[in-house]
Amino acid sequence: MITVSTSKIAARAYHHGDLRSALVEAGLVALKTTAIADMSLRQLARDVGVSATAVYRHFPDKQALMQALASEGINQLGVFQKAAAEGSADQAGDFAATGRAYVRFALAHPALFRLIFSQSEPVGQTIFGDNLAAQMLQDKAARVTGGDPEETRRLMIQAWSVVHGLAMLMLDRQLPADDALIDRVIDSATLFPR
C-alpha cells in the first residue's frame, strides 16, 4: 500500500514516502487496542518509525490527526451499514438492518466509534452531513415515511437516538453488549405516533 512514487526502492532514510497515510493507518490500528484518551502522537510516530514532531508537517496539531481518523471511521461505518442493508427484503427491514449495523459497528470498533463523535467539529455533520452513513439514514427514513419531510425528519432523529443511545450505553457498560438485546430493542421500536 505504501509505495514511494519515485523509482527508488522504498528508501527508508529521512523521507518516508507517504507519512500522512502511514500515520492515519497506524492510528486506525492503534485505536483497536487504545482508548482515545491514551492515543499519543509520539507513540504513533514511533510506530511509523519517525521522529515525534514529524507529524506536524502533515497535521497542524493532534486534533487534526484525530479528525482525519474520525473521518475515515465514519466512512467505514457507512460502508458497513450499506452492506448490512443489502441483504434484507422489505424497506422496513432495510431500515432496521442499518440500525442494527450501527450498533454492531460501535461494539466492533469502540474507540473509533467514540472518536467519530468526540470531535467538537461534528464530523458526522449533523444529520445533513455528506457522508454515506448520514445519507442512508435520510434515504431509508424517507422511504418509510413516504416522503413527508417533517415526518421523515422526526423519524430520522428518533431512530438515530435509539441506536446511538443503545450503542453508547453498551460501550459504557451500562447495558450488556448483547446481540440479542440489540435485535429485541430495534425490532420492537415502533417509531410512529399512534
Partner DNA sequence: GGTTAATGTTTCTGCTGTAAACATACGGGC
Partner DNA sequence: GCCCGTATGTTTACAGCAGAAACATTAACC
Q: Please give the residue ranges that form the binding site for its own copies (CB under 8 A).
A: 37, 117-118, 120, 122, 124, 126-127, 154, 157-158, 160-169, 172-176, 181, 184-185, 188-194
Q: Does 34 bind DNA (CB under 7 A)?
A: no
Report the partner that residue 15 touches, choosing among its own copies, DNA, none (CB closer than 5 to 8 A by kind). DNA
Q: Which helix (H) or strand (E) holds 154?
A: helix 149-171
Cell readout for 160 is 438515530
Q: How far is Cα 136 from Cα 139, in angstroms, rounded to an integer?
A: 5
Least distance CB 47 / its own copies (angstroms): 22
Helices (H) and strands (E) in the chain, counts: 8, 0
58 vs 143 by CB, closer to DNA: 58
Q: Which of residues 60-119 bind DNA (CB under 7 A)?
A: 61-63
10 alpha carbon, distance to own chain's centre: 32
Q: Are 183 and 160 in contact (CB under 8 A)?
A: no
Q: Which of residues 162-191 bind DNA (CB under 7 A)?
A: none
51 vs 118 by CB, closer to its own copies: 118
